[in-house]
Structure formats: structure tokens, C-alpha cells
Chains A and B, each alone.
Chain A
């Protein structure tokens, strides 16, 4: 029982970080109908930036988010502008998936050139500190990471609900054509949307680097989990992706504690298969013709 509760706590805390990564990915899908296969690579890029800032300049990993997030926001805008906007053709969805895959490979290539393939992680002095609450271990890093993810998600929510840009985004998600007719600049919304998606990856990446050992190839593990989460949550639904991330965080952590860590990734795949069999549009997804 103790192990189960401990696993659930761990799962919720981890799930919060996944929620942050996945919310960016699902936002990008909602706006542009692009499945961003580079989201995992962007997270790893964020982790390496934090690593460099920490080891070279001694900047605290949590503080480095203030630097990495704006940087990756700009990177995201550049990517959308240079690689996704020029795409033409009748199967845009396919092409854009492949372009983001190429981007992921490119990022992996650059990172392995700069950092090599050995596993690293970011180890601030407080990395192994943890509290004991009612007999359960709560690690400081995980807890702060969880809170931070909630803050970032709240920020994202406020941007989407309270700003003019957010209104344009929501209009574009609901109906791209009428949004454009009403004067929404689709290119601008897409670019900023991709930027925001990458920015969440950066924030999540800084945290990811403290919680996990990573190397440039880590993005494959990440993306397979993120994809399950966004499909489970319903593509394009940010709330759905948060719920799905928590569910998956808990599920995999429980499997890992009660069965074996090597099968915890498998939980993701089994859940994905069940979702596709029972409810292909996910928990909160809208039924869109052509996508499902």
C-alpha cells in the first residue's frame, strides 16, 4: 500500500512536467494541425541549454528557465517561418509531420555534435534533497518542478483566455477559415503559437534535465510518451492533455513500482492502443473529419 501511494505521488509530480510538454504540443496541433514530432527534441535542447548555463555560468537550473524559454520561443517562431510556412501541396499534414521529424533529427545531430552521446544530467546542490510527509518521500526538485509546471500552464491559460492573441488563437482552432475572414492573421498566430509550444518545451526541458539522465537520443523516448498523452487527451485540447499527462504519469509510475521499471514505458503504448480501440478521438477531442 505504501509503495502504491508513493508511486501515485511520484506519478502526479512527473505527470505535471509531462503536462507542460504536452500542452505545447497540443497547442501547436490545435492551431496549425501539425503534429510536432520535434517537441521531444526541443525539450532535450532546453535541457542541454540549462546544462550549459548551469555548468559554465553556474546559473541555477530553475532560474535558467527565464533564459531558455524566450530563446526557444524565438527558435519556434523561426522554425515555423522557415520550415513550415513555405510548405505547399495537397498533403500538408503528412509533409509537416515529416518536416518536424527532420527537425528532430537535426536537433539531435547538432546536440550530439556539441555534447557527444554520453548520458548527462543537471545536478544542483539540492538535487537529492527530499521531504518526508506522512512517511512518503517528496523530492524537492520534483515538487518545485510540479508547481512550476502548474504556474506555466496557468500562464498559458491566461494568455489564451485573456489576451487578444489568445482570442485569435482560439478562433483559429475553432475555425481557421472564418478566423481569417474576421481579420486574424493566420501566419502570425501560427508563428507565435509554435513559439509558445517551443517555449513550454524549454521550460519543461530545464526541469527534465534535473529529473532524468539524458543524451541527444532521449527525444525518442519523450516523443513516444508525449504522443500517447496528446492522443489520449484528444489532439488539440490543452485541458485534455493535462488530464492525460497526469493519468499517464500515475499509470506508468504505478506499473514501474509494482511490476518493473522496464515495462513502465509499455503502459503508454497499451493505453494508446486501448484509446484507439475504444475512443479514437481521445478523452476530450473533437471529432474532425479527415483526422480520425
Chain B
């Protein structure tokens, strides 16, 4: 895996986060902040998914299960009161750790299978969680949904705490992605992705690194679900465990480029605004589903490796050409 902290990388990350931090402060239309909260949420979810789906090559289609678990983990205890309003955010790390712990046995079972079968198993995980959310009425409220007590925030800056919480989550997700890439874990995951049997053969602790990737990615996604539940205030099984959220994560990671740090973020910043636009333009949610499927197919057919890897390959090829020309000239 490629090296440590470069100046270019630092500047890129610095500019990105400073801009995002400043946006609410300078003000802007309400819809912008609202849209950015969802964009940043999806960027964090996709980055979390990427740890498993991109780095380890295990394309989970069931990560929204952890999103739902996180959402209910915030909604259930805070349905009566949220105290000063910041308590749910403080509890969030516990939610993440809890979801990560829950995910370990799940990951252990499901990662006995690979690629396509793994996708099947994880998609079943989605349905299991949704069925539980519907059926455990005493806990989740079933189809009636569960409400979170309204946050006592000032109306003018109501969105700010949620916005910054999502931003912190994204920073954590990207930080972990970065750490994974330059650590032994990332290296081990890359070998798992390339050829798991060989990796096992040469002594990579395959099961351990896979479980780490699974647990960390589940934890990040669950925290995203927690903030989301608090923000939207009312959750139903079909929206907290929505297949479209799963597909959103996967699609964004694919569009931007799997296995890269910025790919999932880029994907989210393209697709979420596009999604909002479709929803506005077509109104009816049915056509929006169709537009989503179309975008999806176009990406799979024409850009299967994602934007960032395609660009970097093109740059590399051009550099190689230039270098080749220079060497012939020198001769």
C-alpha cells in the first residue's frame, strides 16, 4: 500500500474539511445544509462500506442492517427525552462499538463464503434485521415506527449539531481508511482481496483481518444510522433498513472508486445531490427509482472501476508515455 502522509494529501484533506466546516458559519439556504447532512452521511457510510467491500473485496449488500441497528440504538433509549440535546451524540461511540461487537459473529458466519455467495448472505442479513424491526413491536414499535424526542436546539442553528456530528463521523471514517491503507491491516486486506487462499497459505491471518474490517465498517455505518435517526426524528423499519441505503453505499463507492480513500466520498458528493435533483425534477418516487437504476447500470457498464482509479491510470499511462519518449530522445 502506498506510503504515508504526503503534503498534497494533507492539503487536499485540509481544504476539504475547512470548506465543509465553514459552510454553515457563512450561512446558506436551509436546503443546502440539509442536503449536505445527507451527502456527508452517505460519504461516511460509503467510506465505511469501502473498508470491507473495497479493501477486503467482500461486497456486502447488507450493511444497512447495521445502519438500522444504530438508528434503533439511538431511537429506543432517547424516545422519551434527549436531555440537553447532546447526549445522543456522546452515546454514539458506544453505539458504534456495540454494533461492531454484534457484527463479529455475523461476519464470522457470513465470511465463510466468498464474493457472490457472500453478497447473498449479507442481503439476507438485511431482511433479517428488517423482519426483526417489524416483529419486535415492544422494542421497535413495529410498523408504527419509533420517534426520538425532539432536540431542544435553537431554531436558527438547528441543523448544526447534526451537520458537525456527521462531519466528525466522516473524518473518523476517512482517518480509519487512511490508517488501514498504510498499516499492516491494509496490506493483509489487499492480499485477501487478491487471492485469499494464497494469502492464507503464506501466513496472513486472514480471518482476523477480515473480521476487523467487517467490525470497523459495521461500527461506522451504525454510527451514521444513529445520527440519522436523531436527525429525522421518526424511524420506520422500511426506512431504517432500506435496501436503497445499502445500494447507495455500494454505488457511491463503485462510482468514486473502490479501495481508495477519496473514491466513496467523491461518489457521495456526486450521487446524493443528483438524487435530490431527480427527486425534485420527477417528484414521483417511482421515476426516481428508475433513474437510480439507470445511473447504476451506466456506472457498472462503462465505469466499473470507478472515477478515481480510471483517472489515476490514465495519468500513469501518460507519464509512462512521456518517460518513454524522453528516453528515446535522449538516445
Identity of the chain A residue whose Cβ is nearest the Cβ of B254 in the assembled complex: A98
B135 touching A83, Cβ below 8 Å: no
Identity of the chain A residue whose Cβ is nearest the Cβ of B296 in the assembled complex: A102
Within 8 A of A (CB), among B253-312: 254, 284-290, 292-294, 296-297, 300-301, 304-305
A2 within 8 Å of B (CB atoms): no
**Contact partners of B134 in chain A: CB under 8 A:** 262
Identity of the chain A residue whose Cβ is nearest the Cβ of B282 in the assembled complex: A113
A124 within 8 Å of B (CB atoms): no
A101 touching B112, Cβ below 8 Å: no
Identity of the chain B residue whose Cβ is nearest the Cβ of A111 in the assembled complex: B286
B290 touching A113, Cβ below 8 Å: yes
A89 touching B304, Cβ below 8 Å: yes
Tell me how far the C-beta of A261 lies from the nearest C-beta in chain B, rounded to whole angstroms.
Answer: 10
Tell me which of B57, B113, B121, B292 has the highest count of chain A C-beta atoms within 10 A of its own C-beta: B121
A45 within 8 Å of B (CB atoms): no
- A interface bracket (residues with beta carbon within 8 Å of B): 35 or more
Tell me how far the C-beta of B107 lies from the nearest C-beta in chain A, rounded to whole angstroms.
Answer: 12
A98 touching B250, Cβ below 8 Å: yes
- B interface bracket (residues with beta carbon within 8 Å of A): 35 or more
A103 touching B120, Cβ below 8 Å: no
Binary contact track A98-132/B, C-beta < 8 Å → 1, others 0: 11011101101110110000000000000000000
Q: Quick one: given A35-B116, A93-B115, A289-B197, are A224 and B124 in contact (CB under 8 Å)?
A: yes
**Contact partners of B286 in chain A: CB under 8 A:** 109, 112-113
Binary contact track B113-150/A, C-beta < 8 Å → 1, others 0: 11111011101100110010011000000000000000
B116 touching A112, Cβ below 8 Å: no
Tell me how far the C-beta of A165 lies from the nearest C-beta in chain B, rounded to whole angstroms.
Answer: 25
A291 touching B117, Cβ below 8 Å: yes
Binary contact track B54-83/A, C-beta < 8 Å → 1, others 0: 000101010000000000000000000000
Which residue of A87, A109, A112, A272 contacts B301 across the interface (Cβ within 8 Å)? A87
Which residue of B110, B284, B304 contacts A95 across the interface (Cβ within 8 Å)? B304
Q: Quick one: given A89-B305, A113-B290, are A101 and B113 in contact (CB under 8 Å)?
A: no
A103 touching B293, Cβ below 8 Å: yes
Tell me how far the C-beta of A236 lies from the nearest C-beta in chain B, rounded to whole angstroms.
Answer: 11
**Contact partners of B110 in chain A: CB under 8 A:** 276
A88 within 8 Å of B (CB atoms): yes
Tell me how far the C-beta of A97 lies from the nearest C-beta in chain B, rounded to whole angstroms.
Answer: 5
What CA separation (Å) do A276 and B122 show in the bound complex? Answer: 12
**Contact partners of A103 in chain B: CB under 8 A:** 293, 297
What CA separation (Å) do A91 and B244 show in the bound complex? Answer: 22
What CA separation (Å) do A182 and B131 show in the bound complex? Answer: 48
Tell me how far the C-beta of A218 lies from the nearest C-beta in chain B, rounded to whole angstroms.
Answer: 13
Tell me how far the C-beta of A119 lies from the nearest C-beta in chain B, rounded to whole angstroms.
Answer: 14
Tell me how far the C-beta of A31 lies from the nearest C-beta in chain B, rounded to whole angstroms.
Answer: 14
A86 within 8 Å of B (CB atoms): yes
Identity of the chain B residue whose Cβ is nearest the Cβ of A280 in the assembled complex: B112
B243 within 8 Å of A (CB atoms): yes
Identity of the chain B residue whose Cβ is nearest the Cβ of A230 in the assembled complex: B120
B300 touching A98, Cβ below 8 Å: yes
Q: Quick one: given A99-B297, A235-B117, are A108 and B289 in contact (CB under 8 Å)?
A: yes
A263 touching B284, Cβ below 8 Å: no
**Contact partners of A224 in chain B: CB under 8 A:** 123-124, 127
B209 within 8 Å of A (CB atoms): no
What CA separation (Å) do A101 and B123 show in the bound complex? Answer: 11
**6 closest pairs, A vs B, by CB?**
A109-B290, A109-B289, A106-B293, A102-B296, A224-B127, A113-B286
B-side residues, CB < 8 A to A, are: 57, 59, 61, 109-110, 112-117, 119-121, 123-124, 127-128, 131, 134-135, 197, 243-244, 247, 250, 254, 284-290, 292-294, 296-297, 300-301, 304-305
Listed by A's residue number, 5 A-B pairs whose Cβ atoms lie within 8 Å are A34-B116, A35-B120, A106-B293, A227-B124, A266-B135
Given known contacts A33-B116, A101-B247, A109-B292, what 17 new A-B pairs fall within 8 Å (CB)?
A97-B116, A98-B59, A99-B297, A102-B296, A105-B289, A105-B292, A105-B296, A113-B287, A220-B127, A227-B120, A228-B124, A273-B109, A276-B112, A276-B121, A289-B197, A291-B117, A292-B117
